[in-house]
Amino acid sequence: MYIITVNNKIIKLLYNGIFYDIIIFELRKFGGDLLVYILLNITGRLVITLLYVMQFLMFGRALMSWFFPEEDNKIARFLFVITEPLVYPIRQLLSKIEFFNTVPIDMSFLFAMIILIILTTALGGGLI
C-alpha cells in the first residue's frame, strides 16, 4: 500500500495495483482506519456487481423462456437453477393472495426483478 499524494481533502492511494481517491471526510467515518474503509468499499462494489449479474441472469431467463421453453436446453436449465431461489419465495408469498392466482403470467418473476433493482439502487449501484 502506497500513499501517492495527500492534500487536505483527498488521499490518492495505490493498493494492489488499484488507485483509490479517498475523501478524507469519508475516511473519518471509519475512525481513520484506511484498511477498513478499503475493505468495505470493495465489499460494497462486489455486492452491487453480484446484484447486476443476478439482474442479467433474470433477464436471460425471461428471454430464454420465450424463445426456448424446452426443459432440455442446458442454458435455460442453468438460468432456472440460478434464479429460482430468488423467485420461489416470492411465488409462495404471492400464491397466498387470490388476485395473483388469477393472473395468467408469473408475477413473482416481475416482483423479484423489481426487488433486485431496488436493492441495487439503494446500495448505490444506480439503474441498469
Q: What is the mean pLDDT of residues 23-43?
A: 62
Query: What band does 115 get if pLDDT is binned at 50, 70 and 90?
Result: very high
Q: What is the mean pLDDT of residues 32-49?
A: 74
Q: Is 13:22 a contact under the CB 8 Å cutoff?
A: yes
Mean pLDDT computed over every residue of the chain = 76
Q: Is 120:52 a contact under the CB 8 Å cutoff?
A: yes
Q: How far apart are CA 112 and CA 61, in angstroms?
A: 12
Of all residues in the chain, what percent carry a pLDDT higher than 70?
66
Q: How far apart are CA 122 and CA 120, in angstroms?
A: 6
Cα-Cα-Cα-Cα dihedral of 4, 10, 14, 16, to 10°? 160
Query: What band does 114 get if pLDDT is binned at 50, 70 and 90?
Result: very high
pLDDT at site 105: 82
